[in-house]
A = this chain, B = another copy of it.
């Protein structure tokens, strides 16, 4: 009997797995006009499941896709992080101004200052609804059964070819088996990734021994910080409190040894860990405050990253542990892994889903550029360089942070291993990392720090910091992040300096001439429509009262709404001192390139377009190549 002939089809990108990383990737690619297919083995979208925290940086990224508004409205905003040490008796008498046990700290310098907690199912709905509005749905329940990558070098190097062959099987209907030929495949299929295993990519890393109980309850408590994120270092162990929707709480509780029984190395027997046990442990940590609950809404126990595949709303009997990272993130730059498929870590720092979605954010624009024929295939190398390095940093941080969090204070204040000073210092040091703001990509084809000094307040390789500028024509205050949407365009921010000085205006005009010269990047890589690759914004340091924005806009051929000044708005509510914040000379100015993902790619003085052209020639193809596509 011969095998049946399966139907075959072609697609630009096949995404395996519809968790946060896969959905983020599918939505971003589809919105950029790429043909995408996304499959998932589960017959339904997740209804229950663990909530996850969204870091400030992730909120910024979601905003760049127009998705933050809903998340901020529907999620639970967290505005304060509290670190707490023992000597609880003082809590009862907080009239003293000392208040030394409560160190509330700045945990972010970003997007409205908030973090958000939101059910994973609700976060996924945000992406599913956005996809649905452009006609993209998840194919369910569908799994890949085989994957083959062509060994033909010519085929592998040609972005127009389909070198990856994947066989798919429908779990409810065998007749629906088929073969998909894809230009690219993204494995977003979680910690137990089939894609990763099929390609023989190993996971590197080690187990940890600390075991945490995780419990969702609607608390009955008199603990005053219950609506803030808290890290409570008690003499009975450490407890994390994260506020959730509908007055609910998530507790992360360090379990004492007597409740843990380990059967084997990679599995955790939680038959002796019950929600009652987790709550009881919490109660001891929170004394003298009371903490009770009528119902246990969800619970699990973890050594490290919970197994998102198998955790149920009742209990997780089988928990993945380990703080591990995939040996590589791609095969021939044709199959990529994103999210939990590439890295697992502990839930302590609340990084899992954020790291996953930011993997996708990093690769989306690179695939778009290659698929549109604008960039060389080598651009895709930077995905592994940037995101695997970040995952390594994250695991290092996670190890340090988890050790720090799990540390027991000594009964005697200020002499224990965790003191008020070390707590403050720890939260401040870690804040940059846990907020996601600190992500710093190393020098590469797309990160060129050569002229870092012309914008010393920015860090080339980090995300563009937020700041409010005023539209020169109408005085409207504009947050620069609102001007940096994830529209797959490089943003060329021309800080034009003091354009009311005749000499500077001449320099700026000369710079415009250089920019639009046919040998410079703008026309050379922009083809017939440079505005589909490059978005130009002007920001003068002249006063809002005197700037000649009409002339300035005309010099660069820009609409009035694209010319800004670094000045206070009329009401004095916002704006001003942006040049100082970014470390740019108010007289001489500078040009700054923000990548399509919002990270600073390079800076240049306003002397010539040579530096900029050299930067883009690292990875863009000249417009003759465009014509071919």
Contacts and interface: CB of A to CB of B under 8 A. Distances in A.
Interface string A558-602: 001000000001110100000000000000000000000000000
Nearest to A559: B247
A545 interface: yes
Interface residues of A, number: 43
Given A476-B77, A477-B79, A545 B99 contact: yes
A95 B569 CA distance: 20
B474 A78 contact: yes
A79 B473 CA distance: 10
A550 to B, nearest CB: 5
- Most chain B CB within 10 A, of A105, A114, A474, is at A474
Interface majority SS (helix, strand, loop, mixed), chain A = loop
Contact of A104 (B227, B502, B570): B570
Given A228-B474, A228-B475, A473-B227, A79 B570 contact: yes
A345 interface: no
Interface in A481-499: none
Contacts of A477: 79
Interface in A184-227: 222, 224, 226-227
A364 to B, nearest CB: 26
A545 B550 CA distance: 50
Contacts of A544: 104
Contacts of A410: none
A257 interface: no
Contact of A94 (B474, B546, B560): B546
Contacts of A473: 224, 226-228
A243 interface: yes
Given A77-B476, A79-B476, A548 B113 contact: no
Contacts of A550: 222, 224
A102 interface: yes
Nearest to A102: B545
A571 B99 contact: no
B502 A95 contact: yes
Contacts of A549: 224
A67 to B, nearest CB: 16
Given A95-B500, A224-B549, A573-B113, A474 B104 contact: no
B79 A475 contact: yes
A34 interface: no
A546 B104 CA distance: 11
A117 to B, nearest CB: 11
Interface string A361-396: 000000000000000000000000000000000000
A548 B92 CA distance: 10
A482 to B, nearest CB: 12
Contacts of A500: 94-95
- Most chain B CB within 10 A, of A97, A107, A571, A573, is at A571
A109 interface: yes
Interface string A80-109: 100000000000001101010010111111
A107 B569 CA distance: 12
A484 to B, nearest CB: 19
A99 B247 CA distance: 56
A546 B99 contact: yes
Interface string A275-293: 0000000000000000000
Contacts of A222: 550
Contacts of A77: 474, 476
Interface in A298-355: none
A79 B569 contact: yes
Nearest to A107: B570
Contacts of A113: 569-571, 573
B548 A79 contact: no
Contact of A106 (B247, B560, B571): B571
B104 A545 contact: yes
A222 to B, nearest CB: 6
Interface in A138-194: none
A80 B224 contact: no
A109 B550 CA distance: 28
A104 B113 CA distance: 32
Contacts of A99: 545-546
Interface in A232-253: 243, 247
Interface in A448-499: 471, 473-477
30 contacts: A77-B476, A78-B474, A79-B471, A79-B476, A79-B570, A79-B571, A80-B475, A94-B500, A94-B546, A95-B500, A97-B546, A99-B546, A104-B475, A104-B545, A104-B570, A105-B570, A106-B570, A106-B571, A108-B571, A113-B570, A113-B571, A113-B573, A114-B476, A224-B548, A226-B473, A226-B560, A227-B473, A228-B473, A228-B474, A243-B474
The 10 A-B pairs with the shortest beta carbon distances in the complex, nearest first, are A227-B474, A80-B475, A227-B473, A79-B475, A113-B571, A79-B476, A224-B550, A80-B570, A99-B545, A94-B546
Interface of A: 77-80, 94-95, 97, 99, 102, 104-109, 113-114, 222, 224, 226-228, 243, 247, 471, 473-477, 500, 502, 544-546, 548-550, 560, 569-571, 573
